[in-house]
Structures are given as C-alpha cells and as structure tokens.
Structure 1
Amino acid sequence: MQNANIKCGLTEKLLGVYEDTTEVQAYVWYENNYVHDEYQHAHQRYQLTYVEQGYQYLHVDNCIYLVPQYHVAWIPSGQQHATTSTAKDINLKVLLYRDVPKDEFYERVHIFPAPTVLREMLQYASKWNRMVGNEEEKEQFLQAILVSLKSFCDENQSLQLPVPVDHRLVPVCAYINEHFTSNLDLDELALRSTMSVRNLQRLFKQETGITLQKYLQVFRILKSIELLDTGELTLSEIAYKIGYKSLVAFRNSYFDIMKVYPKVKK
C-alpha cells in the first residue's frame, strides 16, 4: 500500500487524491522553492496561491493559465488542476479554505495581479505558516482576505492559452507552438487542419474565443516570461528570439497582454 504524503497540510492517500484531516476553517502554507504537483489532482479545499517569485502555469480543463510573479490564482474546491514551471526559483504562499461565502465568484478559477494591500496582507499572514490549529486573530484575518478577494480581482483574460477540443485544431496549435518565432502561414495551417483558411479561422475563434494571431501573440509572451525569468538576455535579445522584429513591437505586445512593460530580472 502506498504511504500517505502530506502536501500543503493535506494528506495524499492516492496519487492526486487528497484527504482533509483538519477541522480548521483556513490556514497558510508557505515553502521556498515549493514544487507543486505536475499531475492532475484535486482537494476539497478552496485554494488561493500567490506567486511571490517566479511564475507558474496552471492547467485546468481546456486552458493553460499563466500565473506570473505578484499574481494570485484562485482554485475552487474539487477542481482538477495541475501546475508546471521552468522558473529557476519559485516561491509560493498558499491559503486553503474549507468554506467560502455563497457567491458564484468562488466557484470559478481566477487569475489576477495582487494589489499592494493584498500583497501586504499575505505577507502578514505568513506569520501563521503551517499553523493548522484554531487561533482567533488568524481565523479573522484569513477570513478578511477571503471576503475581499472579489473586490481585489482585476482579471486579465489574456493570461490564458486555450486548448481546443476539436481534433482538427490540435495539429494547428502544435505547429504554431513549434514555429512561434515565424509569422503565421495560414495556408500551411489550413493544410494541417484539412480545412480552408476561412473555415479554420472561424472554427478556431469559435473553439478558443481568440484568433490565430492572438494565440500566437499570447504564446510568444508566455515564452518571453520564461526568458525574462532567467535574467540572461537583454530585452532586445528576447524580442528577436521569440519572433519580433523590433524591441518596440515586443514591448507593445507584452504590454497588451500583461498591462505592464517587460523588465529584465536582476
């Protein structure tokens, strides 16, 4: 029989299946360079993850969400998910809640930048790291974070890369992912999808909610964040490496997705 593992205060009885053995309403779990499960898993607690350093990709259903530094991810209870990252260093603060207010907001995945006040609250909450007992100030403070989340949420829908279900679009995405440094070759993509260019564009927008050009843009920016994290290249080098012809074009495209201009990690 497989031995149970304790992860974020939860007991993993089977691979990807967690049992909540604590009665406390909420607690904090913080580890430097914590490696989250890269396989699909779920637990019966609502999860707020703050990326203090590095970045993560969150895989949920047919979407891959980017969770960059200083952003938070909200994951509903029971939601199957997995995370991956190639960041050199990644520090996460995780808050886990047993119960939440009756509001549709808490039953959906959210990715958004943490405003300064939330970042300060999460930093203060780290003093209760791994304390799973009942403590009045902790309970009240973590509950204050929970009920404020909806007000803090300023979601950026561009941080998600949709994964189409239609089998004809799978080779299209695979080709773009492999040749993202080149401009879109619509004729080549249509050939791989066994559709006309017009039908391909229509179906792709219908399946993913974005255009082929937007998909390429998002994919390039995701790659640029990986390169920025290494701190080994200049902005100009990154721009050309991911397919942009100029630094200005890259900076504008990055701002369009991230709402801030890119900076090289120091």
Structure 2
Amino acid sequence: MQNAKLKCGLTEKNAGQYTDDIPSDAYIWFEENWQHDDYEHSHQRCQLTYVETGYQYFHIDKNIYLVPQNHVIWIPSDVRHRATSAAKTVNLRVVLFKTVPAQGFYQNIHVFSAPAVLKEMLLYASKWNKLLTEDEEKSVFLNAMLSSLPYFCDESGSLQIPVPTDIRLIPVCNHINKNYQYNFDTEELADMAKMSVRSLQRIFKQETNITLQKYMQLIRILKSIELIDKKQYTLSQIAHMVGYKSLSAFTSSYYALMQTKPKSKK
C-alpha cells in the first residue's frame, strides 16, 4: 500500500481510491499550478472544476472533454475520470459537493463557459479554500451556487471529442488527430478502416454523431486552443498551423464551434 496522500481534501490510500473524511457538505480546493490526476479515479462527491488558467482535457468513458480557460465542468459522483493537459500553467478551482439536488442536471456531465457571476462566486469562495470545518455563510453561499448551476449552464457540445467504439474507426481518428493540418483523402481513410467510402461516412456519423468533416474541424479548433495557450504565435500563424488557408476562414470556423472569436495571447 502506498503512503496516503491528501488530494482535494480526500485521502488517497491507493491510486484512484479515496476516503472521504471531510466533515462539511461542500469543500473548496485551490492551489497554484496544481495538476489533476492523469490516471483514472472516482470519488463519491460531485465535482465542479473551474479552469482559471490554461486548459484541461477530461477523459470520461468513451469521450474526451476539453475545458478551456474560463470554462467549468460538472462531474457527477462515482464517475470515473482522468485529466491531461500540455498547458504550461493550469490553475483549477475545485468544489466538491456531497449532497446535490435530485434533478437531472446534476446526474450528467456538463461543460460550459462560466458567466461573470459564477466566476465572481468562485473567486469569493476562495476565502474557504481547504477549510474542513462547517461555516454558516459558506454553507448558504455554496448551496446558492450549486442551485444556480443549471441556470448558468449554456452548454456547447463542440467541446466534446467523440471516441468511436467500432475499432475499425480508431485508425481513422488517429490519422486525423496526427495530420489535422492537412486535407484528408476520404478514400485513403476508407482503406484504413477497410470499408467503402459510403460505409465509412455512414458508420462514422452513426458512432460519433458528427461527420468526418466536422470531426476534422473539431480537432483543428481544439488544437488551435492549445496553440493560443502557448502565447508564442499570432492568430494568422495558428490558422495556418492547424490547416486553414486564411485567418478569416479560421476565425469563422472557430466561431462556429466556440460561439466566440479567437483571441491571441501573444
């Protein structure tokens, strides 16, 4: 047995196995440049994670969710997940809830942009960072935030990368993921999957709910978010790096998925 470690207030006795000794119903965890576990784990508490700086990928079941800066992810209790990121700096604010309302929102995974009021609430809640004891103001405040989440949620399915279960499609996805800066040949992809072009297009849409072209667009835009975070390139450079012939085409594609225009950090 490994030495017990304290993570988000939970005691990890073995990798991915936690003991919850937190006496309060809601618990705040924030630490500069703290990395979420990159191996699969779960816990009984529901988890609200706000990405204040950088970006984070959450791997849950057969899907990968991108949570960019100023976005939150809601993960229900006992859902196995792991997180990865290549960002230089990642600052996360985590709130763990033991008791949540019974309505359906809280039983499903959600990723959405944090409105200004939610960001302010999360910043204010930092006053209770790592506080184990119960506090009346803390309890009332965090319950109000918890109850408001369904009203804050303006969800974007574009931040979810579908992973097909049909193993014939895995080489296709891998090829696009590695060569997203180039235009792909559908016949070549069909050969990889050992099926006809028509079958590939039909089965891919059936497995992922998006077309091959939409998948390519999704991967390109998600890669652009990573490049923007590096603060090394202009938007025009990034547009060409991810396969767009012009900045206007990139901006249009980015807006279609993210409902906001890209902003350079350079």
TM-score by length of 2: 0.99
Q: Which amino acid aligns with 2:205?
A: K
Q: Deviations over 1:103-144 (max 9, x none)?
A: 111011100000011111111101110001110000110110
The one-letter code matched in structure 2 to 1:156 is: S
Residue 134 of structure 1 corresponds to which residue in structure 2?
Answer: 134
Deviations 1:130-173 (CA, angstroms, capped at 9, x unpaired): 00111000011011010000000000000111000101001110
C-alpha deviations, 1:7-48, integer Å up to 9, x for none? 000011111111111221001100110101001100010000
User: Does the 8 A contact of 1:19 with 1:44 survive in 2?
Assistant: no
Partner of 2:84: 84
Q: Which residue of 2 aligns with 1:100?
A: 100
Indicate whether 1:250 and 2:255 are aligned: no
1:46–1:97 CA contact under 8 A, matched in 2: yes
Counterpart Cα distance in 2 of 1:120 and 1:105: 22
AA paired with 1:132?
Answer: L
Q: Supply the RMSD in Å over aligned alpha carbons.
A: 0.7
Q: 2:191: which partner in 1?
A: 191
How many Å apart are 1:64 and its aligned residue?
0.6
Name the CA distance, whole Å, in 2 between partners of 1:27 and 1:15.
21
Aligned to 2:262: 262
Letter in 2 for 1:114: A
Tell me what 2:215 maps to: 215
Q: Alpha-carbon deviation of 1:238?
A: 0.4
**Maintained 8 Å contact 1:38/1:83:** yes
Gaps of 5+ in 2: none
Aligned equivalents of 1:82 and 1:256: distance in 2?
28
- Partner residue, 1:200: 200
- Superposition map of 1:3-42 within 5 A: 3-42=3-42
SS at match of 1:32: coil
* Residues 60-115 of structure 1: per-residue CA shift (max 9 Å, x gap): 11111110010000000000001101111111110000010011110111000000
Alpha-carbon offset, residue 184 of structure 1: 2.3
1:43 matched to 2:43? yes
What amino acid sits opposite 2:212 in the alignment?
A: L
Cα displacement string for residues 234-264 of structure 1 (whole angstroms, at most 9, x for unaligned residues): 1110000110000000001111111111111
Give ranges in structure 1 of 5+ residues lacking alignment: none
d(CA) in 2 for partners of 1:27, 1:40: 21
Partner of 1:172: 172
Match of 2:182 in 1: 182
* 4+ runs deviating over 2 angstroms: none
SS at match of 2:43: coil
Percent identical residues? 59
Secondary structure of the residue aligned to 1:146 is: helix
For 1:196 and 1:250, the matched residues in 2 are separated by: 31
Conserved? CA contact 1:55–1:87, under 8 Å: yes
Q: Helix, strand or coil for the counterpart of 2:50?
A: strand
Q: 2: distance between equivalents of 1:104 and 1:60?
A: 19
What is the alpha-carbon distance in structure 2 between the residues aligned to residue 210 and residue 165 of structure 1? 14
* Partners of 1:184 and 1:213 within 8 A in 2: no
Q: How many aligned residue pairs are there?
A: 266
Query: Equivalent residues in 2 for 1:225-240 (5 A)?
Result: 225-240=225-240
